[in-house]
Amino acid sequence: MRRLLYRIKATLPSKLKWNSLLMMMASATTIIAVVAVLMITFAMNRRFNDSIDRTTEQNNTQIVDNVSDSIDSYLEEMISVSDTISELLIDYGVDKVIKTYHFVLRDDIDTIAVFDAQGRLVMKTDSRPLKENVNIKQQDWFRSVAPGSCIYVFTEPHVQRLYKGEYRWVISLSKGIEWVDGNKTYQGIVLVDLNFNNIKELCSKELGENGYLYIVDTNGKLIYHPRQQMIFAGIEDKTVSIACALEDGSKIFLQDGGRMMISIKTLKNANWRIVGVSPLNGLFAYDEEIRNFIMLVVIGVALIIIVLSITVSFLITSPLHRLMRLMGQVEAGKLDTFSTIRGVYEVNELSTSFNQMVYKIKQLMEQVIEEQKMLRKSELKTLHAQINPHFLYNTLDSIAWMAENGDQENVVKMIAALSQFFRLSLSGGNETVLVKDELKHAENYLVIQKMRYGDQFDYEIVFDDAVLNYKTLKILLQPIVENAIIHGVGNLPYKGKITIYAGIYENKLVFEVKDNGFGINPKKLEHILEVKPSTKSGIGVYNVNQRIQLMYGTEYGLQFESELDIGTTVRIVLPLIKA
C-alpha cells in the first residue's frame, strides 16, 4: 500500500491543470456515478404501455396493409383477365378466339366465361359441362351489371352452382362487354370467378394473442369473418359497427372493460374494407416480464459502471494510441493525415506538434511534386519536338519541283494542305485538340503525301459522328500514318490503301490506322513498344505511345496487329474526354 501511494505521488504533476489526467479521472468517476443513477431511474420509470401499444399498432397496420395489398392484387388480376377477354372478343370475334387461343387458368381463378344478353353461353375457358337447368339471367352476378355496359362489379363470396357436381366458394367479377361478329353487334357479360379460399387463408392471420381479421363492405355488410358461425348463431361482433364509422388507420377504444385496437384499410378495387382487431387487455400479463426487465436493467447498469470504471483509463490514453496510428499513416506516405485529436493537456500538445511536423513534410513533398510536374511537362514537349522534320523538307522539295514543272494547280493545293497541316499542328499551343481537328490534320498530311507518291496508294477516313467533339492529344495520327506509308504501302508492287477510323469502344476513344502493306515481322512486333528504337520511323511510334501514357496513364496507348503480306492495324486507345 505504501509502495502504491508512493508511485501515485511520484506521478503527480508539479502543477495541476483542469484538463490533466488526474482531473479527468476524478471528473469521469463522478459523471459515471451520476449517469448510473439516472439510467436506473429512467429504466424504472419508462412507460411500457405506450411502447407496447405502438408496437401492436405497427404490427397490426403492417399485417392489414399486406392483406389488403394481396387481395387488391387478386382483384386487379380478375379485372385484367376480364379486360383481356373483352379485347380479344372485340379484336377477333368469338369464333377466332375459341379456335386460336388456348387459356391456362391460374390456380386461384376458377372460371372465365362469356354469356350473351339472354344468358346463353358464348365461350368458356375450360371443358367442364354447365348444369342444364340453371337460369343464368337470375344469377346475382349476371343481374349486377347491364350487358354491354363496360363496367364491372364484384359480388360477395357465394357458392357457384354453374357446373355439374361442383359447389365452389368464389368471388365473382361481372363485366358488361360489347363485340362485333360479322355485321352484327352483340352484348353480354364476362364472368371471372376467383377461388375465395386464398382470400380466406390471407384473413386467417392472427393479430397477436386473440386478434383476428375480417372483411366488411362500406355499407357494413360482412364479406368474410373468421367467426362467421358465431355471428349466424346471433352472437354479434360489436367491432363491426365501430369499424364502419371509422376512417382508414388505427384506433384504440374501450369495450367491455377492456382495450381494443382496430386497424382498417379500404381496398382500391372494391368497396371492401380490411379490419384487424387486436385486444390490448393482455398488457397486464406483462407485469412479471416488466419486473424481470427492471431487474435486468439494474444488473446491467451495475455491470456498465464496473466496465466504465475499468475502461476510463483506456479512454484517457486512447488519444495517444490514435496519435501513434496517425504517425504510422504518415510513415506509410499519407501526408494528408492531420490530427484532430483533443483530450487532456498533454495530448493537445502532442497533437499540435504532430500537425506542425506533417505540415512541413507536406510542404517539402509538394515542392518535390511540383518539380516533377515541371519535369514531366518538359518531357512531353521534348517528345512532341521529335516529330520528323524531314517531312517539311521533302514537302518543300516537292513544291519546288512542281513549281519548276509549271504544275501551278498542285502547287497551290499542296501549299494549302501544308498550311492547314501546320496550323492544326500548332493549335494555339494546346496539347489537346478536338477529334475532328485531329482527323483533318491527318487528312492534310495524306493529301500532301498522296501528291508526292501519286497513285501509289488511296486513303479513306471513317468516323462516328459521336466522337467528333471529344478531345484527343494532337499529332497522334500523323506519325502512325507516316509509318504506314513508308513501311506499308509506299513501296508496294500494287496499289495500297490506308484507312483511318475513329469511334467509341468500351467507353474509350479509339483510333485505328490500317494499311494493306508488307506487315511487321512478328519478332519485331513483339518488342515494338518496349524500348526507344534507333530508327527514325520507330521514333514516331514510341513518341506517340509515350505521350499518351505520360498524359493519361499506362492503361492507354498503342496496340498493334499485323500479318506479313496482309497488312498492319495500329489501334490508339484514349480516355473519353468531352470538349
**Do 67 and 201 sit in the same domain of this protein?**
yes
- CA nearest to 347, candidates 322, 369, 378, 382: 322
Q: What is the pLDDT of residue 11?
A: 40
Number of domains in the chain: 2
- CA nearest to 453, candidates 477, 474, 481: 481
In a domain, 441, yes or no: yes
- CA nearest to 361, candidates 385, 333, 340, 387: 333
In a domain, 518, yes or no: yes
**Helix locations, 132-196, DSSP H:** 140-143
Q: What is the pLDDT of residue 219?
A: 80
State the 10-residue block means of pLDDT for the chain, 579 residues long. Answer: 44 50 61 68 62 78 86 83 82 74 69 86 82 84 85 84 82 86 84 82 76 84 79 77 83 77 86 84 53 68 68 66 74 70 71 80 78 65 54 67 70 73 62 88 85 86 92 87 88 91 94 92 83 56 83 90 91 91
**Do 257 and 393 sit in the same domain of this protein?**
no
**Do 266 and 394 sit in the same domain of this protein?**
no
Domain boundary among 249, 279, 309: 279
CA 408 and chain centroid, separation = 64
The amino acid that residue 64 corresponds to is V
In a domain, 334, yes or no: no
For the chain, how long is the longest CA-to-CA vector?
123
With b for 16 or more beta-carbon neighbours within 10 A and e for fewer, the 268-304 pattern comes to: ebbebbbbbbbbbebbeeeeeeeeeeeeebeeebeee
In a domain, 289, yes or no: no
In a domain, 331, yes or no: no
**CATH classification of the domain holding 257:** 3.30.450.20
The amino acid that residue 21 corresponds to is L
In a domain, 95, yes or no: yes
406 burial level (CB within 10 Å; 0-12, 13-18, 19+): exposed
**Do 200 and 78 sit in the same domain of this protein?**
yes
Q: What is the pLDDT of residue 285?
A: 47
Residue-wise DSSP of 440-475? HHHHHHHHHHHHHHGGGEEEEEEE-GGGTTBEEESS
Element (H, E) at 209: none
In a domain, 195, yes or no: yes
Domain boundary among 213, 247, 279: 279
C-alpha dihedral, 213 to 218 to 222 to 223, nearest 10°: -80
Q: Is 310 in a helix, a strand, or coil?
A: helix
**Do 436 and 564 sit in the same domain of this protein?**
yes
Phi–psi pair at 65, nearest 5 degrees: -60, -45
Q: Is pTM, for the whole model, over 0.75? A: no
**Do 418 and 275 sit in the same domain of this protein?**
no
Q: What is the pLDDT of residue 92?
A: 78
Q: Can you give the residue range of the structural domain that contains 151?
A: 53-279
**CATH classification of the domain holding 399:** 3.30.565.10
In a domain, 352, yes or no: no
Domain boundary among 216, 251, 279: 279
Q: What is the pLDDT of residue 538?
A: 54
**Do 131 and 260 sit in the same domain of this protein?**
yes
The amino acid that residue 36 corresponds to is A
- CA nearest to 555, candidates 532, 539, 527, 575: 575
**Do 268 and 140 sit in the same domain of this protein?**
yes
**Do 265 and 412 sit in the same domain of this protein?**
no
